[in-house]
Amino acid sequence: MNIAAAAPAPSAFVQAQTNAAPARRDERAWAAAQDFEASFVSVMFQTMFEGIKTDGPFGGGQGENVFRSLMVDEYGKQMARAGGIGIADQVYSEILKLQEHGR
C-alpha cells in the first residue's frame, strides 16, 4: 500500500501557508514547529555525544555532564534556526491542518 496515496491531500490554505515566505507564516505555529525540531535534533545529538569520553585532569564529572547537556540543547536550537533537517516544515504543515480542521 502506498502511504503517500492514502494520505489526504493538503488543502489550498495549508499549501499556501507552507510555501509562504517566512514573513507570512503563522509565527506561533512556526515557533512551535522549530521548537519541536530543536528538541528532536537535541535528542539525536545527545545520543551521539554519549559515546565520547573525556580524559585529562579537568575532564569528566557531573559538571561536564551538565555542560554537555546544555551544549547539545543549543546545538539543536541552532540547527533548527539554520534550516534544520526538514522536520519543522512538516510539523508546521500538520499544525496548520489541525487548525484548519478545528475551526
- 82 domain-assigned: yes
The count of structural domains within the chain is: 1
Instruction: Tell me, yes or no, whether 99 lies in a domain.
Output: yes
User: Is 55 within the bounds of a domain?
Assistant: no
pLDDT along the chain (103 residues), means of 10: 47 55 79 94 89 73 82 92 90 90 71
Report how far residue 59's alpha carbon sits from residue 52's, in angstroms, rounded to the nearest whole number: 11
Residues in the chain, total: 103
Q: Which domain holds residue 42?
A: 38-46+61-103
Cβ neighbours for 13, distance < 8 A, ≥ 6 positions apart: 96, 100
- 3 falls within a domain: no
**27-50 and 87-102 helices cross at what angle (nearest 10)?**
140
The pLDDT value given to residue 102: 72
C-alpha cell at 37: 525540531
Q: Which cell numbers in the block locate residue 21? A: 515566505
Residue 94 lies in a domain: yes
